[in-house]
Every structure is written in structure tokens, then in C-alpha cells.
């Protein structure tokens, strides 16, 4: 049969079919896209267009090769008809294989049942393809004058196409499974990211809520002390506490607020403490105007000032000055709370045992900004304690918490 030219599938065709099946599988998965439906880009239309373009490419390849390198040229109408028939048929097969792969995936405890189904399916599809294409080729083939019998031609087509059909089925099945595993991996990754974000948010909320009972305990303890000594001062303190808590509740569950709002919180807290200590408490603010809109963790300054009052003012009868500063240094917001107390008992600030407020602040900063933040205690000048914070500078409402976080 040397003079007969059989359009047996080539390796390039098998590869193109596998790629085409992947494209149609992706389109089938995205068929629920509302945007695609509105624009008329249904997966069926996309698949039809792709099959048509590939059929034209395949027909052109067959026509050029037979014209310039073959013994018998193949007419263009034959090459085009064959290409359309072949690619539309494999387009339908690819959709069927993809659905079978999703319905009966290999592995996952399916075992031999899924393998048997796919072996039967591969043999069936290959048989249908050989029968249809063999019959079509006998009808559409050009007369090459070889005198070959139809039975011999049909038998040769079945023998030559069968291995390629089985290989193509297996390749399409592998691509569909690979894409399915990749999609599951991406879904798992998205779920893990969402869970991690929810965990981080829950941790932040827990840290933030830890401040409330800590602050209330200290304030109520001070009120209970004043009730017998100065009832009027205790009454004013309860009123200030009520205003402060209302302000906190009105702020919602935001993790970051503008520095201006944070200073407003702080001033209400200082009104409570001034009821306790009167003129002994002297507070100065050194806040640069350009930092007022900067994003800071909610209630970040209150525990620092509370710590200064607790250690530098409350145990002593002498007045205490607390200075609160905010500066922008390049892309960093620097916050500092410095008191004029006796300073640290330990020579090394690192040896200081942090209470709930400072430990909470350190944990929140680490959760929100990771390595992009800095929190340290150091000796003041000439005495006292300085609490220093550095976080990335951003305008409140424009960035998200945790930009520099882990």
C-alpha cells in the first residue's frame, strides 16, 4: 500500500488535542461565570472556535505537506473536511473524557472500579473514533489510483489509529486530573490563607479585649479607694469612665485608627487619672501635625501611659511629668511616652518584667506589623522611663492592618 496516503494521527496532533482538552475543561469549569455569559463567551462557543481554528491549521498542514512532499497531492476541500471532522469529533470526546474523569477520578480510594471504567471508556472511544473516521476517510479520500481494497484501507486505519487514540485518551485523562489536583491545591491554599487571617484577627481581638478588663480593674480599684476618701472625686471619676467606655464602644472593632482619634481616647483616659492625682499629673503632647492622620493600633498609647502612671506617679508623692510625642521619620511613625519618674530598678531595660499592658502592646504590634515594627523600653534622660514604638507610616483608611506582618 505504498501509494496510498493515510491521514494517520501524528504526535503533534495528539499534543494539540491534549492542550485543547485542557482549554475546554477550564472553560467548562468557568461556565458559571456571569460575566462570560453576559458577553456571550460560553464555553461551547469558545470550544467551537478553538476546534475550528485548529482544524484549519491541521488542514493547511496536511495540504502543504502533501503538495510539496507527498507522492499524491491532497485537495484542499478534502484536507479541510477531514480536519473539521477530526477536530470536532475529538472536541466532543474531550468533553466526555473530562466529565468521566470528574465522575470517576483515579485514586482517592476508587481503586480498580475507576480504572476499569476508564479502560472500557478508552477502548470504546477509540473504537468509535476508528469506525467513524475510517468510514469518513473511505468516503472523502481522493482517488489515488492505488487500487487498494476498502477492507484493507479500513483495517490499516484501525491498526494505525488505535495506539494514538489510547495515548490521547490517557493524556487527556492525565491533564484533567492534574488540573483538578491543582485546583484542589489552590482551593486548599485559599482556605488556609483565610483561616490564617481569621486566626490572626481573632488573636488581635483577644489581645485588644484583654485591655478592657485590665483597664477597668485598675480604674474600679481607684474608684473604690476614692469612695471613702473623696466621694465627689469618685463620682466624677465614674462619669469620666462612662464617657471613656462609650467612646471605646463607638469606635467599633477597628484594629487601626487615626492617631488623632487615638489621642482623643487618651485624653479621656487622662481626665479619669487627673481626678485621682490632680495637679501631680502633668502631661505634655509633642505631636507633629502631619502625623495626626497616621494609622496606629487602637488603644496603643493608653497602656503605655497607664504603665507610666502606675510606676512613676502612683507609688510616689512627688509630681510626675509625662511627655507623649509623635514624629514621622522617613516612612516610619515614631511614638514615644517618657515619664519623669525614678526610672528602672534594673540597669538593663530588657530585665524589666512587663505587665499585662506592655506585654499586650508588644504582642499586638508583632501581630500587626511583624518585623516592620519596633518596641523597646529604655532609660529616660536624665531619668525616668521611655517607651518607644516605631511602625510603618500610613494614612488611616488607605492601608490594611498587617502590611508588614508575618
Answer whether residue 66 shows pLDDT above 60: yes
The model's pLDDT over 215-252, given as tens digits with 9 standing for 90+, comes to 677 778 878 888 888 888 888 888 888 887 777 677 65
C-alpha cell at 186: 489552590
pTM of the model: 0.50
Mean pLDDT score, 321-340: 95
Residue 140: per-residue pLDDT: 60
Confidence at residue 403, expressed as pLDDT on a 0 to 100 scale:
42
Residue 118 has pLDDT above 90, yes or no: no
Note the pLDDT tens digit of each residue in 13-48: 544 554 455 445 444 544 444 444 444 556 667 777
| pLDDT, greater one: 374 or 402 | 374
Indicate the fold that domain 230-392 takes in CATH: Heat Shock Protein 90 (3.30.565)
Q: What integer best gives the mean pLDDT of the chain?
A: 75
Q: Is the pLDDT of residue 5 over 70?
A: no
Of 313, 369, 366, which is closest to residue 337 (Cα–Cα)?
313
| pLDDT at site 285 | 96
Domain boundaries, the chain: 11-192, 230-392
Amino acid at each position: 500500500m505504498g501509494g496510498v496516503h493515510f491521514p494517520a494521527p501524528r504526535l503533534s496532533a495528539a499534543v494539540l488535542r491534549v492542550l485543547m482538552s485542557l482549554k475546554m475543561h477550564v472553560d467548562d469549569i468557568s461556565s458559571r461565570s456571569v460575566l462570560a455569559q453576559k458577553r456571550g463567551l460560553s464555553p461551547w462557543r469558545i470550544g467551537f472556535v478553538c476546534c475550528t481554528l485548529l482544524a484549519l491549521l491541521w488542514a493547511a498542514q496536511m495540504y502543504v505537506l502533501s503538495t510539496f512532499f507527498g507522492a499524491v497531492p491532497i485537495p484542499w476541500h478534502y484536507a479541510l473536511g477531514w480536519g473539521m471532522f477530526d477536530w470536532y469529533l475529538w472536541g466532543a470526546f474531550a468533553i466526555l473524557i473530562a466529565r468521566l474523569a470528574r465522575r470517576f477520578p483515579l485514586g482517592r480510594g476508587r481503586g480498580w472500579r475507576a480504572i476499569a471504567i476508564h479502560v472500557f471508556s478508552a477502548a470504546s472511544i477509540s473504537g468509535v473514533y476508528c469506525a467513524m473516521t475510517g468510514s469518513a476517510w473511505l468516503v472523502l479520500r481522493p482517488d489515488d489510483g492505488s487500487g487498494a481494497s476498502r477492507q484493507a484501507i479500513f483495517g490499516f486505519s484501525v491498526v494505525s489509529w488505535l495506539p494514538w487514540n489510547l495515548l490521547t485518551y490517557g493524556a487527556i485523562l492525565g491533564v484533567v486530573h492534574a488540573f483538578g489536583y491543582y485546583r484542589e491545591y489552590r482551593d486548599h491554599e485559599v482556605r488556609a490563607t483565610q483561616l490564617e487571617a481569621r486566626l490572626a484577627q481573632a488573636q488581635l481581638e483577644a489581645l485588644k479585649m484583654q485591655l478592657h478588663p485590665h483597664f477597668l480593674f485598675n480604674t474600679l480599684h481607684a474608684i473604690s479607694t476614692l469612695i471613702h476618701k473623696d466621694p465627689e472625686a469618685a463620682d466624677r471619676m465614674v462619669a469620666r469612665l462612662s464617657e471613656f467606655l462609650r467612646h471605646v464602644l463607638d469606635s467599633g472593632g477597628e484594629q487601626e485608627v487615626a492617631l488623632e482619634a487615638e489621642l482623643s481616647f487618651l485624653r479621656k483616659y487622662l481626665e479619669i487619672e487627673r481626678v485621682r492625682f490632680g495637679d501631680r499629673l502633668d502631661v505634655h503632647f509633642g505631636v507633629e501635625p502631619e502625623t495626626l492622620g497616621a494609622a496606629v493600633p487602637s488603644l496603643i498609647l493608653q497602656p503605655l501611659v497607664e504603665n507610666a502612671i502606675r510606676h512613676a506617679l502612683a507609688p510616689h508623692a512627688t509630681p510626675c511629668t509625662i511627655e507623649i510625642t509623635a514624629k514621622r521619620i522617613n516612612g516610619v511613625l515614631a511614638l514615644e511616652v517618657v515619664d519623669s519618674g525614678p526610672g528602672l530598678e534594673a540597669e538593663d531595660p530588657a530585665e524589666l518584667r512587663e505587665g499585662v499592658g506592655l506585654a499586650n502592646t508588644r504582642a499586638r504590634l508583632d501581630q500587626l506589623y511583624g518585623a516592620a515594627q519596633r518596641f523597646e523600653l529604655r532609660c529616660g534622660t536624665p531619668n525616668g522611663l521611655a517607651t518607644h514604638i516605631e511602625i510603618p507610616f500610613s494614612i488611616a483608611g488607605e492601608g490594611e492592618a498587617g502590611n508588614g506582618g508575618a
